[in-house]
Amino acid sequence: MELIWPTVDRLEGLRRALLRGWSPDSQRGEDAARAELALIDADRAAYVAAQVDRAASGPPIVLPNGATAPRLPGFRRWMWDGDFCGIIGLRWQPGTTELPPYCLGHVGYSVVPWKQRRGHATAALGRMLGDARDEGLPSITVTTTVRNLASRRVIEANGGVLVEAFDQPVEHGGAASLRFRIDLAPSRRP
């Protein structure tokens, strides 16, 4: 499995996954999948271009309760093993590791169900740590619900240290959750 930058020529794999019922957003589920499909079907090139938005120039994001919030700089990469496997995204606020209350963590990821339990999420998070470091982040936070043991294993396998247990804000579902920090070694890139 590799992480690739989104491209129009590989977009059909994502589209097929959405049509099969997978959603990159575990909280908004089918609503998020329908919204993604509508954006893809409206303009494939624009959809792919919007996956990388380091300037946060895109529209506000839609929270799980339907409210909107300002977009943060960020990007999505696709998990790819010859076909689409899932999405991993990174978001941040320039100059700080802090995030606004509506953003639970720096990284979010989702693997399509038919490719789970193959180590894709663990590998993707490990590779995304280099991208986070390249963006100047000394550490990132990643959250998961208490019940999501698979995600907890992914985070811990990548050096995640439990910082706190907390209840998600109501607009995110209110689930009992865990917040992890992953410290990043300084980049060795010239």
pLDDT at 174: 78
Q: Which helix (H) or strand (E) holds 148?
A: none
CATH of domain 2-183: 3.40.630.30
Indicate the domain borders of the chain.
2-183
pLDDT at 79: 98
pLDDT at 61: 86
Which pLDDT tens digit goes with each residue over 84-139? 999 999 999 998 999 998 899 999 999 999 999 999 999 999 999 999 999 999 99
Q: Report the distance separating Cα 74 and Cα 93, nearest Å.
A: 9
Q: Where are the beta strands (DSSP E) in 58-124?
A: 61-62, 68-69, 74-80, 84-91, 107-111
Burial of 52 (0-12, 13-18, 19+ CB in 10 A): middle
Reference 171, options 23, 72, 63; nearest CA is 63
pTM: 0.91
Range among 28-32, 57-61, 109-113 rated most confident: 109-113
Q: Are the beta carbons of 155 and 144 closer than 8 angstroms? A: yes
Which pLDDT tens digit goes with each residue over 150-182? 999 999 999 999 999 999 887 777 789 999 999
pLDDT at 25: 83
